Amino acid sequence: MLKTRIIATFIVLFAFIFTYLHATPLPRAVDRIVAVFKKLDGKVEFASTDEGNSTFSGVFNKGFDENAPDRYFMDLFFSVKQHSFDDLKIPN
């Protein structure tokens, strides 16, 4: 019984630590993070604007058909439904 309780405690502790490490905002010492996508010939930048807020911008030069924005969607963290590029006026 004690062995099971110890194992369960370690599993819960690991879950909390794992969630905290992946759910934190950009570190305060970092102003921006850039991700490069070689196959899509593009990059995405996350930048800190002020305390707790950040911006997201990016450009992809391959893999998207700009004449069909209704085929591509974004899940925004503050919204329940998916938004198509057409709804968000991408490209504009």
CA distance 56 to 77: 12
Query: Residue 88 is encoded by which pair of tokens?
Result: 């968000």
pLDDT digits (tens, 9 = 90+) for 49-90: 776 677 878 888 888 877 888 888 877 666 677 888 888 777
Asked if residue 26 is part of any domain, the answer here is yes
Asked if residue 31 is part of any domain, the answer here is yes
Asked if residue 43 is part of any domain, the answer here is yes
Owning domain of residue 8 = 2-61
Asked if residue 24 is part of any domain, the answer here is yes
Asked if residue 38 is part of any domain, the answer here is yes
pLDDT digits (tens, 9 = 90+) for 31-59: 788 888 888 888 988 887 776 677 878 88
CA-based nearest residue to 50, from 31, 22, 77, 23: 31
Count of positions (residues) in the chain: 92
Asked if residue 81 is part of any domain, the answer here is no
Asked if residue 41 is part of any domain, the answer here is yes
